């Protein structure tokens, strides 16, 4: 499975890769515009999305994906330090919400569930 990881913090993208190990192929981007463009172009199996991003916010990316008939079924997991944003993320169409800092097992289990 291919996972697109969108976070403007390179160390968090690296942590996601390290936690999930060699089971997946990763594509990494640092802003919302790149996330949307590569989601449309490459059709990943899962999007791991931060909310606070340069360019388009994670909520804007999520709204665009859910409005796109070809992409709306893409599983999206929001991973953000904005723990109070869980309700907004779920309302916008996120399939899962994981608060930073996260437990590695919590991230792995959510990914496995979304890709099952």
Question: How do residues 23-57 score in pLDDT, each as one tens digit?
Answer: 899 999 999 999 999 999 999 999 999 999 999 99
Residue 24's φ and ψ, nearest 5 degrees, are: -130, 160
CA–CA dist 16, 43 (Å, integer):
19
Structure tokens at 74: 């893409």
Q: Is the pTM of this model over 0.85?
A: yes
Residue 5 in contact with residue 26, Cβ under 8 Å? Answer: yes
Structure tokens at 40: 């449309």
Q: Is cis: bond before 101, omega within 30 of 0?
A: yes
The predicted model gives 5-15 an average pLDDT of 96
């Amino acid at each position: 499975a291919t996972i697109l990881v969108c976070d403007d913090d390179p160390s968090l993208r690296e942590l996601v890769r390290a936690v999930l190990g060699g089971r997946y192929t990763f594509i990494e981007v640092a802003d919302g515009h790149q996330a949307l463009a590569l989601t449309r172009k490459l059709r990943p199996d899962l999007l791991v999305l931060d909310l606070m991003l340069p360019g388009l916010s994670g909520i804007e990316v999520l709204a665009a994906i859910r409005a796109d008939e070809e992409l709306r079924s893409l599983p999206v997991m929001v991973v953000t330090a904005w723990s109070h944003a869980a309700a907004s993320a779920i309302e916008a169409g996120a399939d899962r919400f994981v608060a930073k800092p996260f437990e590695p097992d919590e991230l792995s289990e959510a990914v496995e569930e979304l890709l099952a």
